[in-house]
Amino acid sequence: MTVPLRSVPAPAEEQRPKRSFAELVAAIYEDPRVGHETRELLLAVAYAVDLAKREDGVSPLKVARRKLGVHAGRARYDRLIANDAPRYEPPREAADWGPGGAPGCEAPRLRTYVYRPRIAVTGEPEESAVPLRPSPSPVLHAAPGFSPPAVDYRNAQGICGANSHHKVLEKDPRTGWVTAHWFCKRHKDHAERVAEQVRAQNEAAPEPIPNRGGLLPCYFKADWEQVYRHYAGKSWEPPVYGLCADDWPTPGQPLISRGRLRVVVGGIDIEEAE
């Protein structure tokens, strides 16, 4: 099965002198948004496009797929394309944690926290111990030489800090990004109060601005929506802000046009991952 990748004509305002391969590579290296794996993908596609200009019958993305090789039985090209699909990824704190793994309760602290080392139960009860064989000394669950900090973070921040069980998500009214608030079982009433406070704000919040991917469309023009759907899966949907990371608004800053020419990748097919 092959998925055609149709080229998209560049708008009239983007008809500028073409960049050389060296200029394109320099722009990729100087882009602070590009991580090491995405940089490898962009450079592979740039090399394949430059090779297609010099040799007839070369399919650029097929060349890039071969150059990136295979890892763990899967073409790295497939994985890197899927990772570049534009999307919003919430912070790690907003995930669903298992017991004891969530951030500490952020409800207000009512009394000062005092460190009390927990004493482990060792041996049998004293009344059932064998005569002339005293029970072993209790063991403290603390490393030798451990001393608690002078100011505990729970006292410094004025928070409960206990294991959390209730999560409340708050959406930013400008970006749609979420912030997680966690509360323990004893502060369930605080969780309900915060949830009610942010209810109207969450309902009015916009679609979240993407914070991952969208870098391939910054440098190459193609039918990237079709490509992303193929490699990222049918559940992926294009964001309302567009596929290109250059077009996404930055909170608190005006949208700035970078004015870079995108290389047109056309007349090629994308092979399905084996």
Indicate the burial class of 150 (C-beta count within 10 angstroms; 0-12, 13-18, 19 or more).
exposed
CA distance 43 to 253: 29
Structure tokens given for 11: 């708008």
Strand partners, 169: 180
Which secondary structure element, helix H or strand E, spans residue 168, and what is its range? strand 166-171
**Residue 12 CB partners (closer than 8 Å, separation 6+):** none
Least Cα distance to 179 among 88, 90, 89 occurs for 90
Instruction: Report pLDDT for 259.
Output: 44
DSSP string, 68-114: H-EETTEEHHHHHHHHTS-B----GGGS---TTTSPPP-SBPSS---
Within 10 A of 63 (CB to CB), how many other CB atoms are there?
A: 19
Instruction: Report pLDDT for 266.
Output: 53
Instruction: Report pLDDT for 128.
Output: 58
Least Cα distance to 172 among 135, 204, 217, 137 occurs for 204
CA 66 to the chain's CA centroid: 27
CA distance 130 to 108: 49
Q: How far is CA 228 from CA 54, 80, 104, in A?
A: 27, 11, 38
**Could you give the 3-state DSSP secondary structure of residue 268?**
strand
Instruction: Report pLDDT for 265.
Output: 58
**Residue 162 CB partners (closer than 8 Å, separation 6+):** 104, 105, 184, 186
Instruction: Report pLDDT for 234.
Output: 85
Which secondary structure element, helix H or strand E, spans residue 195, and what is its range? helix 188-204
Instruction: Report pLDDT for 123.
Output: 57
Instruction: Report pLDDT for 134.
Output: 54
Residue by residue, pLDDT tens for the chain (274 residues) are: 334 333 333 333 344 446 788 888 999 999 999 999 999 999 999 988 888 777 776 677 778 888 888 766 678 889 999 999 999 999 999 988 877 788 999 999 888 887 776 665 555 565 655 555 555 565 556 667 777 677 888 888 888 988 999 999 999 999 999 999 999 999 999 999 999 999 999 999 999 999 999 999 999 888 899 999 999 988 999 999 999 999 998 776 654 455 444 555 554 444 433 3
CA 194 to the chain's CA centroid: 25
